[in-house]
Amino acid sequence: MNSQYRTKVFVYKKRDLKEADRIFIVFSYDFGKLEIFAKAIRKINSKLKSGIDIFFLSEIEFVQGRKNTLTDAILIDKFPNITKSPEKFLIARKIAKILDNFIVGQENDHKIFNLIQETFEKLNNYTLDPRRYTLIYLSFVWNFFAILGYQPQLYNCAHCHNKLLDENNLFFSYKEGGILCYNCGKIKQLNKINPDTIKILRTILNQNWNVLSKLKINIEIQKELNNISKNYYLFLLASHSFKKI
């Protein structure tokens, strides 16, 4: 006998099947990643279509079987301002790509679910210079990796473990997973990291959004922050030691 469940979900991917069916890829509060089959949901008279779609936060009911079949969908929040802004929508798609790349198994994690919800609420509600929406994305990226167990070491050298003292002569190592002191970084021939970039990373991982949203970040620091974030993401994605959830 098939079991029936209700749970909150965030929809981060969808694909169409046949003439009117659809598969939703969701991260759920109770079960982690799920594929939900929605029969005939693309028909005009479907009663389910208003309750679930891409980047929706919904409460759903589904029957577990060979396919997880959707039987009910109640909208909680569709974050309307995100779809109205090309810049915000681009950030939403980048977050969805990270979820798709790193979340594989069906294992619940309330911290990840809460991080997704909080991130999309910020992206929807904050009215900032569009260039600064990237901070919301970067805040998600680093805190997501921290939840997965890949929080970078930012206060002690990631190689020798000594306390970082001279912040003008520090380096970032993707392989070591954090900041290296002058002696360790020089031996490994790494590029220096700006002390302001380190401060921003610390603020991000302290989840102090009120401070982060008010920071004045010049172009060079923004560029370095973007590069370090991108390269750390790519390193983890390519790493053979990375254990996907």
19-71 per-position pLDDT tens digit: 999 999 999 999 999 999 999 999 999 999 999 999 999 999 999 988 999 99
Class of the domain covering 81-149+194-238: mainly alpha
pLDDT over threshold 90, residue 220: yes
Phi-psi region of 240 (alpha: psi -120 to 50; beta: other; left: phi over 0): alpha
Q: What is the pTM of this model?
A: 0.92
Quote the tokens at residue 77: 């929040």
pLDDT at 128 over 80: no
Give me the DSSP letters along 19-65.
Answer: TTEEEEEEEETTTEEEEEEETTTTSTT-SSGGG--TT-EEEEEEEES
Which residues, 6 or more positions from 85, have their beta carbon under 8 angstroms from its beta carbon? 130
pLDDT at 245: 46
Position 88 confidence tier, pLDDT thresholds 50, 70, 90: very high
Angle at 39 between CA 17 and CA 244, to 5 degrees: 65
In angstroms, rounded to a whole number, what is the distance separating the alpha carbons of residues 33 and 156?
35
Q: In what order do the strands lie in the sheet with 178-180?
A: 178-180, 170-173, 192-193
- Given this structure, which CATH class describes domain 3-77? mainly beta
> What pLDDT does 105 receive?
75
pLDDT digits (tens, 9 = 90+) for 182-216: 999 988 878 899 999 999 999 999 988 888 888 88
Q: Under a CB-based contact definition with an 8 Å cutoff, are residues 26 and 9 in contact?
A: yes
- CA-nearest of 204, 159, 206 to 178 is 159
Give pLDDT, residue 154: 97
Q: Provide the percentage of residues in the chain whose pLDDT is more than 90.
A: 80
Report d(CA 139, CA 47) in Å as an integer. 36
Q: Is the pLDDT of residue 173 over 80?
A: yes
Q: Which residue has the tokens 């959707």?
A: 70
Average pLDDT, the chain: 92
Domain positions in the chain: 3-77, 81-149+194-238
241 pLDDT more than 70: no
Cβ 13 vs Cβ 25: under 8 Å: yes
